């Protein structure tokens, strides 16, 4: 039976089930969040087959989950979520985290209105492009000793703030306060250290970006007021990850963990799902290294935000504090976290894999800072560079997804397919006609990241909102885009 023949069972207009009977060996069903329109795109690749494959993982509980931005990835689909019960032999899989560990996004508000900057967007974009290193192999001005490199892997954003790249309030508005505990620098290879060297404060390439945006729609007046948001307000979004360090850690452990399948008598239909019990030496080693990469990524985005604030200062002639450039939140997209959930009436320690998925804690959750206890956790979902991005909040209903939501629009064309089918000059004219200024280190990146390569984020967010796993607060549209 091929992936195109998977017959999904409709639960409601926004949820679909892959029954355990689809493949012998599935320990749980698959659960896909989508509507009829998005399913047509989802059926175009092998992502649904990967959802079924993930259901083979030892210790997996409830469902193998897929968000509406799901598309084919390494082992897990991108947009996949799975939780394993640690005490019942639950595993951790590098393929369930991804190569760009803690690729994530942060959103900043400003006091600026569109009317204040509409004639200065080009200057701002060019200033940002000059000040923020971007592109494959880009290097920043932050030079670190070997001791400081290890400090970043342990302290994350807290190292950045302590060294003048931000303020204490930034940490309160970052998942895990920018530093997840348990990072083990000794579990990181020398090659990974070398690849991460000199890349702190760099944007990277591919789908990473820095955007100037404007709020063009408010959905909830009370929540918008709580976040200090209004129509026409200028926002800034930063999307980046752990750069070469995270990629190398994933590469090291995906190769080394294949032997664990035989060692621990684990049967999976795809070796890209190589895994080890969380409590095994191999599982603990990967978790410690992954946390290092996660902390590196949080420090990186903190430094990128610092550079962005300085760029706005130079371009507009006012201190960033006067411009009201405050962080709303920073969330990880590719990570595995140990979290407590109630499963069949029993509180369990679960290893929650979120690959291309965003944590979405509800109001009152103990992990949230006081300022978000009443609203719920900010959930940031960026779209492509010609459409929209969204701010939402987590909900109690998201417990069924282990408090997870989608992380973006999701690709419908590979980078290769986009390059073959999209004309750069036509694309640039289309963006210009929408008043969007784009600067990239390579023209090829613009084509690879064209709107036609992605699902429509508005459709994706409609599913997330209507399924009740996050609640819309506001929508932004891009004005200026920096690409690697």
Quote the CA–CA distance of 126 and 100 in Å, as a whole number: 27
392: nearest Cα among 477, 471, 476: 471
172: nearest Cα among 398, 404, 367, 379: 367
164: alpha, beta or left, given left = phi > 0 and alpha = psi -120 to 50?
A: left
Quote the CA–CA distance of 70 and 34 in Å, as a whole number: 9
Neighbour count for residue 317 (Cβ, 10 Å)? 8
Taking CA atoms, 457 is separated from 208, 382, 384, 407, in Å, by 16, 8, 7, 10
Quote the CA–CA distance of 442 and 70 in Å, as a whole number: 27
Quote the CA–CA distance of 179 and 292 in Å, as a whole number: 9
Quote the CA–CA distance of 31 and 11 in Å, as a whole number: 9
306 is catalytic: no
Rounding to the nearest 10 degrees, give the CA dihedral for residues 183, 187, 189, 192.
-20
Choose, from 208, 239, 407, 465, the residue flagged as catalytic. Answer: 407
Quote the CA–CA distance of 94 and 96 in Å, as a whole number: 5
Strands 30-33 and 64-71: parallel
**Burial zone of 396 (CB within 10 Å; 0-12 exposed, 13-18 middle, 19+ buried):** middle
DSSP-derived 3-state class of residue 393: strand
> What are φ and ψ of residue 337, in 5° steps?
-125, 145
Pair of tokens at residue 228: 């200090």
Q: Contact 367/174 with Cβ under 8 angstroms? A: no
> What are φ and ψ of residue 17, in 5° steps?
-115, 140
Q: Which residues are catalytic?
A: 407
């Amino acid at each position: 039976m091929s992936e195109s023949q998977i017959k999904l069972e409709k639960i409601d207009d926004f949820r679909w089930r892959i029954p355990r009977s689809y493949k012998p060996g599935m320990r749980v069903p698959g659960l896909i969040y989508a509507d009829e329109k998005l399913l047509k795109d989802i059926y175009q690749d092998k992502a649904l087959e990967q959802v079924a494959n993930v259901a083979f993982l030892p210790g997996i509980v409830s469902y193998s989950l897929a968000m509406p931005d799901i598309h084919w990835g390494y082992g897990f689909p991108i947009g996949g979520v799975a939780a394993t019960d640690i005490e019942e032999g639950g595993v951790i899989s590098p393929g369930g985290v991804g190569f760009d560990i803690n690729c994530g996004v942060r959103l900043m508000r400003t006091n600026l209105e569109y009317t204040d900057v509409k004639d200065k967007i080009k200057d701002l974009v060019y200033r940002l492009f000059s000040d923020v290193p971007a592109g494959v192999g880009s290097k920043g001005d932050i030079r670190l000793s070997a001791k400081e490199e290890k400090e970043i892997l342990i302290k994350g954003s807290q190292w950045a703030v302590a060294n003048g790249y931000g303020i204490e309030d930034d940490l309160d508005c970052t998942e895990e306060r920018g530093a997840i505990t348990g990072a083990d620098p000794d579990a990181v290879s020398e090659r990974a250290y070398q690849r991460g060297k000199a890349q702190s404060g760099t944007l990277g390439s591919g789908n990473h970006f820095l955007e100037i945006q404007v709020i063009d729609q408010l959905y909830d007046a009370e929540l918008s007021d709580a976040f200090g948001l209004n129509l026409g307000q200028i926002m800034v979004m930063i999307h980046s990850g752990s750069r070469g360090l995270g990629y190398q850690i994933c590469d090291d452990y995906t190769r080394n963990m294949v032997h664990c399948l035989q060692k621990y008598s684990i049967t999976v239909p795809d070796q890209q799902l190589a895994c080890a019990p969380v409590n095994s030496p191999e599982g603990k080693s990967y978790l410690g290294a992954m946390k290092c990469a996660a902390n590196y990524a949080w420090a990186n985005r903190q430094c990128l935000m610092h550079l962005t604030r300085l760029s706005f200062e130079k371009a507009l002639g006012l201190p960033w504090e006067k411009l009201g450039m405050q962080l709303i939140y920073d969330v990880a997209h590719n990570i595995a976290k140990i979290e407590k959930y109630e499963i069949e009436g029993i509180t369990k320690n679960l290893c929650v894999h979120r690959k291309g998925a965003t944590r979405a804690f509800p109001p009152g959750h103990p992990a949230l800072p006081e300022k978000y206890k009443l609203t719920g956790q900010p959930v940031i979902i960026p779209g492509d560079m010609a459409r929209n991005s969204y701010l939402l909040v987590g909900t109690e209903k998201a417990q069924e997804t282990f408090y997870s939501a989608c992380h973006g629009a999701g690709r419908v064309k590979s980078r290769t397919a986009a390059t073959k089918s999209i004309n750069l000059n036509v694309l640039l004219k289309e963006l210009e006609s929408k008043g969007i200024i784009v600067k990239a280190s390579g023209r090829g990146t613009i084509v690879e990241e064209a709107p036609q390569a992605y699902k429509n984020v508005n459709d994706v967010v409609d599913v997330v909102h209507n399924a009740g796993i996050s609640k819309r607060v506001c929508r932004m549209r891009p004005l200026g885009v920096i690409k690697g």
